[in-house]
Amino acid sequence: MVEFEFPSNLDIVIAFASLIHVKKPELQDILDKIYTVLNENGLTYLSLKYSSSYKKITKEDDLGERTYYLYSKEDIYKLKRNFKILEYNIHKVRDQEWLDVILQKITTSDKF
């Protein structure tokens, strides 16, 4: 996602657990890129691993070593810039809490 070139004129971008290995500065860059390709009032759906505060966790198992970044609602609020949060939901799957967020692109006229 960091290097992906998004097509233009999109109505929605869905990132379902695809950004769980992305640290905060990279997530900010990705959200900025998504904003530029979304149509007016376009939506972004994010599903991220949740923690009450930003956290980096590295796990090693049979699949090897993997690093995850966990986000809070406050982290997303700070990263959202030109998006408004339409909805957020925290839910548990197995032993992991997840943060699902729907962001809507704010147009220039919406800001005033």
Query: How many residues would you count in the chain?
Result: 112
Mean pLDDT of all residues in 68-97? 96
Q: Is residue 2 part of a domain?
A: no
Classify residue 86: in a domain, yes or no. yes
- Rounded to 10 degrees, the C-alpha dihedral 91/104/15/50 comes to -30
Q: What is the mean pLDDT of residues 63-83?
A: 95
Is residue 45 assigned to a domain?
Answer: yes
pTM here is 0.89
Residue 55 located in a structural domain: yes
Residue 49 lies in a domain: yes
* pLDDT at residue 112 tops 50: no
Confidence of residue 111 (pLDDT cuts 50, 70, 90): low
Q: How far apart are CA 81 and CA 76, in angstroms?
A: 9
Q: What is the percent of the chain with per-residue pLDDT over 90, rounded to a whole number?
A: 90
Burial class, 103, CB count within 10 angstroms (exposed 0-12 / middle 13-18 / buried 19+): buried
Which domain range does residue 92 map to? 10-107
